[in-house]
Amino acid sequence: MSSERGEQVVVDTYYTTVHTLGKENDGKRLRYMQKDGRFPVVFQKAPGDWSPYFMDIFTTLVEIRWRVMFLIFSLSYILSWIFFGLCYWLIAYIHGDVDDLDNAPCVENVRGFTGAFLFSMETQATIGYGFRGMTENCIVAIIVVTVQDVFSCLLDTIIIGIAVAKMASARKRAQTVGFSSCAVVNLRDGVMCLSWRLGDFRGNHILDGVARAMVVRYVKKSQGSIVMSYQDLDIQNRDIVLATPATIIHKLEPESPFYSLGPDALQEEDFELVVSFTYTGDTTGMLHQTRTCYKPTDIRWSQRFQDMLKVGKKHYTVDYARFNETTWVQVPQVSAEEFHRGRRPAVGNQYHRPLFTSEKTNGHTYHVNNDITEEVMHQTSL
């Protein structure tokens, strides 16, 4: 950019304070959603009320942590071995196999609890060493072995199903689809737009998905309670083919909640822009959702995302090193409402807004063209 004297002025945008908005103490406000898409929400219920977790025990086991899952996995087998081992020991004790070594046993080489426990483990794990075995002397022992075999099949099915469901969880696939770390405000075809990036970091690309965005605000009541206010944003091209990174665009038009907000007014606002992308995985066929949120500090005015896509002889090359990088562009430091109003002549005269307004950043003064209709890109170091 140049000044009126034609001198070249270098705009230093190395420091993030040049192109980020918001106050330094932004972290004091609890986020409605974390950047990784998690909600910092804790449900308080009456002590001992665990009925919702036991009514859907499969979902509860799928959602628990892996270390708890391994603990439940180990205890389920060990406790079942001990239970059926006690059953075999009780049968041997009643039948007299423990005290009388000459008695025809119900289970060969089971004369105490240790032998009964080993036989239970070998039966359920289908080890079959051949040293201990069931005889025809006790029908009760045969029934217990049958029950244990059926129970072991059922237990294996449940444990394996839960483990597979946890490994194929939609949360893991969602981590390979991400949004940019910031959103930007710039001009597109003469219209101010708020945009952010969406990309798939895996090779098996997502062919179809739906993008959504909403503004979440905190509304304080007179009694001190807080009510969440939600407002959907109108974005272009909700249906996205994510073969290459996509830019989600929201036009700052009269129906937009950001229409009357300039860069300074945006600092004083208290909201979160919650964005999401819902899609079906082409490998598993499961429904996934990736989401994140942007606060006013994450919105960069007068910037645009750097180009990532290059066309080669045989392939389209995507440079994900530039996924979060932005460049400086000329954008009026006014709200979209003032920008649109300034582009039209006033009623009754031919008054227009000044073509250029002066801006000062880090000691450098430069001029911004308020009537610009295309993005003029200037490389910066971020």
Domain ranges, ordered by start, for the chain: 66-169, 174-342
Instruction: Give the pLDDT score at 42.
Output: 63
- How confident is the model over 267-323, as pLDDT tens digits? 788 889 999 998 877 666 677 888 889 998 899 999 999 988 888 888 888 888 889
- How confident is the model over 134-157, as pLDDT tens digits? 888 899 999 999 999 999 999 999
Write out the DSSP string of 236-299. S--EEEETS-EEEEEE--TTSTTTT--HHHHHH--EEEEEEEEEE-TTT--EEEEEEEE-GGGE
Strand residues in the chain grouped as ranges (E): 177-179, 183-188, 191-200, 206-220, 226-232, 239-242, 246-251, 271-280, 287-294, 299-301, 303-305, 309-311, 316-318, 326-329, 356-361, 364-369, 377-378
143: which residues sit within 8 A by CB, 6+ positions away?
none
271, 296 contact by CB (below 8 A): yes
Topology adopted by domain 174-342: Immunoglobulin-like (2.60.40)
* pLDDT classification of 186: cutoffs 50, 70, 90: very high
Q: What is the CATH number of domain 66-169?
A: 1.10.287.70
* pLDDT classification of 50: cutoffs 50, 70, 90: low
